[in-house]
Amino acid sequence: MIDLTGKVILVTGGSSGIGAVTVRTLANAGAMTILHYFSRRDKAEEIVREMGCDMPRARWRDRIHLIQSDLTQENGAITLWNDALSWQGRIDVLVNNAAIMLAAGVDDNLALWSSVWQKTLQVNLIAVADLCREAIHHFKSRNGGIIINVASRAAFRGDTPEYMHYAASKGGIISLTRSIARGFAKDNILAFAVAPGFVRTEMAEKFIEDYGEDFVTRDIPMGKIAPPEDVANVIAFLASGLAPHATGTTIDINGASYVR
């Protein structure tokens, strides 16, 4: 069992999918977890209720803190960071998980194409970079910290034509993470990326509906879509700081469907 007692961890996009399972995993390991959500406070509250069923509600309120922020807005990530920092006065680990996956192909009209590209890059890359910037400044003042960015298998092998923007944004995350690792290791700042393949989450359901589960699993040697727990467990390990010399590493979680 990874012990994260005493660590304050910010998880973006924490109310559903990989983020929700990650919040549960980190909190169960002892972390004080900041759950960022966009619009569904009811889903965020549900996570707190579910985890508090075996202990007093107030205790879980001390372990999971909810913050709403719209990362599609310019400087939304900066506001989120400042609000998160005010809870305990420090953040030890940043988990950039929030992402969107909208469809737009070259045959769609230019207005849709442009809108989807801009919105995807804003949420999936620019907001991530803004949060990393704030985290680096904070960690330098505290003699270190950990950044974990959730990328994708698509960063390395690409995606279907309707999701080129998604693949491009995730490729940017890999380069961003490696640059942070190289540039700030001297400040005891660690940066990691995790690159899931298909994970059974709400965000992936649209793709699965469009293309069918057989299409999704046909090139996965394990023959099935990964559960979000696989990703959350890797994030928990990286958040522990037990392998500092692995900084800059990307960990693939794709059932051997893409081996680099």
* pTM (2 d.p.): 0.93
> Are the C-beta atoms of 67 and 91 separated by less than 8 Å?
no
37 an active-site residue? no
CA–CA separation, 35 vs 66, rounded Å? 5
pLDDT at 43: 84
Q: End-to-end CA distance of the chain, in Å?
A: 29
- Element housing 180 (H / E): helix 164-184
CA dist 150 and 192 (Å) reads 9
Query: Which member of 163, 166, 211, 258 is catalytic?
Result: 166
pLDDT tens-digit readout, 160-206: 999 999 999 999 999 999 999 999 999 999 999 999 998 988 877 87
Q: How far apart are CA 35 and CA 22, in angstroms?
A: 10
Task: Name every residue whose Cβ is closer than 8 Å to that of residue 227 and which is 6 or more positions away in sequence.
Answer: 199, 200
Classify residue 70 as left (phi > 0), alpha (psi -120 to 50) or beta: beta
Contact criterion met (CB below 8 Å) for 93 and 239: yes
Each of the 260 residues of the chain gets a pLDDT tens digit; together they read: 799 999 999 999 999 999 999 999 999 999 999 999 998 888 888 888 877 655 555 566 678 999 999 999 999 999 999 999 999 999 999 999 999 999 999 999 999 999 999 999 999 999 999 999 999 999 999 999 999 999 999 999 999 999 999 999 999 999 999 999 999 999 999 999 999 998 988 877 877 888 888 888 998 999 999 999 999 999 999 999 999 999 999 999 999 999 88
